[in-house]
Structure 1
Amino acid sequence: MLISITTGDIALITVEKSDPLSPDSQYLIEKLSAELAAITGDNGKSHFAPASMDEERSLWALAKDQQGKATGCGAIRPLTDNIAELKRMFSDRSAPGIGDALLVFLETAAQRMGYGAIWLATRRVNQRAIHFYEKNGYARIANYGPYKDREETVCFSKAL
């Protein structure tokens, strides 16, 4: 599956399945980790390992601009049989629509894999992320799993 955001005949953003260990992926993971550390004080690495993308019904995706430069990343992995967890969503914000394209790609992939919902967690201080998920139809839910008693965390869900 490939998603392409175009203006006229020009593809501005493409999103496709990728390898989380590729140089482009690792570069974006490090950029995300640095940005999260600056916003929240935690780089977020303790809740994601690239090796988890080897699990069945997991997917790592990269967004690229028209020159082929990696501009965003994101992943889904199984939380339960029916719920995918969204992880490591990041856009370098070099062009409008990167995050939206990634999210559409991952939601579509999750639905095709048989998931009925996507859950995610972010920090309350990360207002940009909270606004993005709310704008895209995600609703707040009770904190789950490792985030259960973490007051600094807010969790979201979206039915697919």
Structure 2
Amino acid sequence: MHQFHIAAADPALPEAVALLDELSARLAAITGNSGRSSFDAADVRVPGALFVLACNVEGKAVGCGAFRPIGEGVAEVKRMYAQVAGAGLAILIHLEAAAREYGYHRLRLETRLVNQRAVAFYEKHGYARIPNFGKYAGRPEAVCFEKILN
């Protein structure tokens, strides 16, 4: 099992920017849309929000993820990305634990239906499909998920 150090970070750090750019390029290749318009770094700098970097044992940033508040007791997962196996799950587990500590009861997220790897990942880890919410409502290319945090 891989070991990762996951900690809060500013999304403007060079290593965070590099990961976010890599994610945008991969999303554009998979879905035709980089997803950049769906992420504003200011959204993860507000109270109740969190952006994290996952670093490997050598200290190299190999993944990132975030959540932002979207309603009472509800946060939205944003910009999940992992370069190496195991980092994505480690980040997701960290974000879920942090969300509980912040008082959230539900995590929601959106991905594109064509991104089958992401769809399968979230379904495997307890996220259930829900009606598309917010700006994703009425967009058939999008699929939304929710997990109730215990």
Deviations 1:24-43 (A, max 9, x none): 10000000000000000000
Give me the identity figure in percent. 48
1:83 paired residue number = 74
Deviations 1:43-71 (A, max 9, x none): 00111111111211000000011111000
Q: Which runs of 5+ in 1 are unaligned?
A: 1-6
1:4 paired residue number = none
State the alpha-carbon separation in 2 of the partners of residues 145 and 69 from structure 1.
35
1:102 paired residue number = 91
2:134 paired residue number = 145
Q: Where does structure 1 differ by over 2 angstroms across 4 or more consecutive aligned residues?
A: none
Question: What is the RMSD of the two structures over their aligned residues, measured on CA atoms?
Answer: 0.9
1:12: how far off? 2.2
Structure 1 residues 59-78: aligned runs within 5 Å: 59-78=50-69
Q: State the secondary structure of the residue aligned to 2:93.
A: helix
Deviations 1:93-143 (A, max 9, x none): 2xx310110001000000100000000000000000001000100000000
State the alpha-carbon separation in 2 of the partners of residues 74 and 134 from structure 1.
17
How many residue pairs align between the two structures? Answer: 149
1:121 maps to 2:126 = no
Match of 1:46 among 16, 37, 62: 37
State the alpha-carbon separation in 1 of the partners of residues 93 and 3 from structure 2.
15
State the alpha-carbon separation in 2 of the partners of residues 77 and 92 from structure 1.
22
Match of 2:23 among 24, 32, 37: 32
1:13: how far off? 1.2
State the alpha-carbon separation in 2 of the partners of residues 71 and 54 from structure 1.
21
